[in-house]
Amino acid sequence: MKFEENRLVYEQDGVEIGEVEFKELDNNQVDIYHTYVDPDYQGQQIASKMVETVIQKFHIIFLSFDGNCSLASIALSIALPNMVLMSNGSMKSIP
């Protein structure tokens, strides 16, 4: 995986097979607005690995995402199993 401006790219054998696009906001906040994994590689938790990498890089304490991106929603729920997705796209920690 490699970071580019506002984007994390997942490559395999030099071919781009996935990406997460995001916008840095204030106070350790990141808006993940696009997540994509090539259909031939779906089901391998690539999206959740990319989302987790973004979270770790920015030491994120708050996430928001575009509710229209269902892959982002699924990836977030896998990457952060102790978090609950709220209807407004934010996440809340659960014990």
pTM: 0.64
CB 66 within 8 A of CB 43: no
pLDDT digits 0-9 by tens, 29-86: 777 888 899 999 999 989 888 888 887 787 655 555 554 555 555 555 555 555 555 5
CB 67 within 8 A of CB 80: no
Q: Hey, which bits of 1-95 come out as E strands?
A: 2-4, 7-12, 15-24, 29-37, 62-65, 83-85, 91-93
CB 86 within 8 A of CB 73: no
Q: Is the confidence at residue 20, as pLDDT, over 50?
A: yes
User: Hey, what's the torsion of the CAs at 13, 15, 16, 18, to 10 degrees?
Assistant: -50
